[in-house]
Amino acid sequence: MLAGSRIVLGVSGGIAAYKAVEVCRRLVDAGANVVPVMTAGASHFLGATTLSALASEPVQTSLWDERAPIPHTRLGQTADLVLVAPATARVIAAYAHGLSTDLLTNVLLATRAPVVVCPAMHTEMWEHPAVVDNIATLVRRGVHIVEPEAGRLAGGDIGTGRLAAPERIVAAVERVLGPADLAGTHVVVTAGGTREPIDAVRVIANRSSGKQGYAIAAEALARGARVTIVSTVELAPPPGADVVAVETAAQMQDALHGLAPAADVIVMAAAVADFRPVAQAAGKIKKDQGVPDIVLEPTPDILAGLGAAKRPGQVLVGFAAETDDLLANAEAKLQRKHLDLIVANDVAQPGVGFQHDTNAVTILTADGGRQQVGLSDKRAVAAAVLDTVVRVRATAAPT
């Protein structure tokens, strides 16, 4: 999503400047061209050599660089986005009041690109009426604010004012620069593998890690959607997502019963167990009791139930993890369960599906379309899936 974008990363003088290194690395890894600008204060906390080594271009600090007679104008005009992380009370005040005191504040005033500001300061400063008013002024002008978090501050104090985590900052940049083609929609994503208890210790489970579902959730958030994840795993959720924790197929069904009717898009990326024990043993079954006689019964077919209840305009996405007859099995599931599209992957192939950070899929749609996505990271697969969702929604929309 950020590939090819030119991002000016402004770093001002606070102890949180060290986090700008991780923000820079994440942006570059996402394909962005990062141009760092440091204030004089930032140099007290972070060496320019470090940031220059990780960024796409060397750090710039001065308005009077002979190589670029008007660097602030060039930077402001060529930026796709200006990000300030951390933003001190001084920089926020200068920006709000139009004071061009250094290269960074000049760039902020000289750009027409979207601006993301990530404040970081002590609690007393963050709550000061002047700072509150300055933030309100910037918000009113359309500046995107990534509010600070509560936690340990410089000097050991605890309170609100800590710079947002790098993943939150990058997610905010993705939301600003990404396509807003899912804005105003509610996307529900299931993730992970259900666990059906045998006794108090053991379960029937599968190998699903939840990574693909979480990648879809992150991509949907970046496209402007409101996202709820119904999850069986303990992965860190993408910033902005709501999470409903479940374990069994029955619990997942109950959660979706409340969420599905109002959802615009449902992506069933979870690997739901097909069978569960009829009865759960009390306590732990001991080995010396012999091999237990476990009687299985089918779990509820959640996907089929969602397909049967699907309202007009709602898009339902299923997954088919197969080891043979991939496309035939996926096509049959697509039709049988009344899906709009299905994402099929051959989990017997190296690097595909469960536990991996990569996937290779074929996306089949109800109108007969097929799209192959070669071995890619799961976020790229998520983007392809949601591209298809957007096309299906556009086709189904009333003219």
| pLDDT tens digits for range 30-59 | 999 999 999 999 999 999 999 999 999 999
Residue 195: φ, ψ to 5°: -125, 120
- What pLDDT is stored for residue 324 in this prediction? 92
Q: Is the pLDDT of residue 88 over 70?
A: yes
Domain that holds residue 145: 6-177
In this prediction, residues 251-263 reach a mean pLDDT of: 98
CA-nearest of 175, 169, 266 to 224 is: 175
SS (H, E, C) the chain: CCCCCEEEEEECCCHHHHHHHHHHHHHHHCCCEEEEEECCCHHHCCCHHHHHHHCCCCCECCCCCCCCCCHHHHHHHHCCEEEEEEECHHHHHHHHHCCCCCHHHHHHHHCCCCEEEEECCCHHHHCCHHHHHHHHHHHHCCCEECCCEEEECHHHCEEEEECCCHHHHHHHHHHHHCCCCCCCCEEEEEECECCEECCCCCEECCCCCCHHHHHHHHHHHHCCCEEEEEECCCCCCCCCCEEEECCCHHHHHHHHHHHHHHCCEEEECCECCCEEECCCCCCCCCHHHCCCCCCEEECCCHHHHHHHHCCCCCEEEEEEEECCCHHHHHHHHHHHCCCCEEEEEECCCCCCCCCCCEEEEEEEECCCCEEEEEEEEHHHHHHHHHHHHHHHHHHHCCC
- What pLDDT is stored for residue 187 in this prediction? 98
Q: Is the pLDDT of residue 399 over 50?
A: no
- What pLDDT is stored for residue 156 in this prediction? 85
∠ CA 178-183-189 to the nearest 5 degrees?
90
Locus of tokens 């496309």: 327
Q: How far apart (Å, rounded) are the C-alpha atoms in residues 76 and 108?
A: 7
Within a domain: residue 157?
Answer: yes
Same domain, residue pair 230 and 275:
yes
Choose the final residue of a domain: 151, 177, 203: 177
Locus of tokens 């990574």: 211
- What pLDDT is stored for residue 127 in this prediction? 95
Choose the final residue of a domain: 177, 212, 232: 177
Within a domain: residue 277?
Answer: yes
- What pLDDT is stored for residue 287 in this prediction? 87
pLDDT in tens, 304-342: 999 999 999 999 999 999 999 999 999 999 999 999 999
Within a domain: residue 279?
Answer: yes
- What pLDDT is stored for residue 291 in this prediction? 86
Same domain, residue pair 97 and 208:
no
Same domain, residue pair 208 and 246:
yes
Same domain, residue pair 172 and 194:
no
Query: What pLDDT band is residue 267 in, cutting at 50, 70 and 90?
Result: very high
pLDDT in tens, 116-133: 999 999 999 999 999 999
Domain with 74 in it: what CATH number?
3.40.50.1950
Output the CA torsion 257→208→382→360 (10° steps).
-140
Q: How far apart (Å, rounded) are the C-alpha atoms in residues 216 and 257?
A: 21
Instruction: List the catalytic residues.
Output: 206
Within a domain: residue 168?
Answer: yes
Same domain, residue pair 329 and 380:
yes
Q: Is the pLDDT of residue 72 over 80?
A: no
In this prediction, residues 288-299 reach a mean pLDDT of: 90
Same domain, residue pair 146 and 275:
no
Within a domain: residue 1?
Answer: no
β-pair type (203-204, 275-277): unpaired
Within a domain: residue 104?
Answer: yes
Q: Is the pLDDT of residue 398 over 80?
A: no
Same domain, residue pair 61 and 157:
yes
Task: Report whether 249 contacts 268 (CB < 8 A).
Answer: no
Q: Is the pLDDT of residue 252 over 90?
A: yes
Q: What is the pTM of this model?
A: 0.79
Domain count along the chain: 2
Residue 366: φ, ψ to 5°: -65, -25
Q: How far apart (Å, rounded) are the C-alpha atoms in residues 59 and 277?
A: 61
Same domain, residue pair 152 and 64:
yes
Locus of tokens 């820079």: 24
Of the ranges 34-38, 352-356, 371-375, which one carries the lowest mean pLDDT score?
352-356
Choose the final residue of a domain: 128, 149, 177: 177
Locus of tokens 């061009």: 100
- What pLDDT is stored for residue 123 in this prediction? 95
Which tokens is 233 given?
């795993």
Q: Is the pLDDT of residue 182 over 70?
A: yes
- What pLDDT is stored for residue 306 in this prediction? 98
Within a domain: residue 219?
Answer: yes
- What pLDDT is stored for residue 4 in this prediction? 92
Same domain, residue pair 240 and 296:
yes
Within a domain: residue 218?
Answer: yes
Domain with 277 in it: what CATH number?
3.40.50.10300
Same domain, residue pair 143 and 234:
no
Residue 20: φ, ψ to 5°: -60, -25
Locus of tokens 């300030």: 84
CA-nearest of 290, 273, 277 to 207 is: 273
Q: Is the pLDDT of residue 67 over 70?
A: no
Contacts of the segment 321-327: beta carbons below 8 A, 24+ positions apart: 321/271, 321/345, 321/347, 321/353, 321/354, 322/346, 322/347, 323/347, 323/348, 324/348, 326/362, 327/362, 327/364, 327/370
Q: Of 282 and 242, which is predicted with more confidence?
A: 242
Q: Which amino acid, one-letter code, is at 252?
A: M
Same domain, residue pair 157 and 92:
yes
Same domain, residue pair 196 and 338:
yes
CA-nearest of 323, 220, 371 to 361 is: 371
Tell me the pLDDT of the chain averaged across its residues.
93
Q: How far apart (Å, rounded) are the C-alpha atoms in residues 140 and 74?
A: 26
Task: Report whether 214 contacts 201 (CB < 8 A).
Answer: no
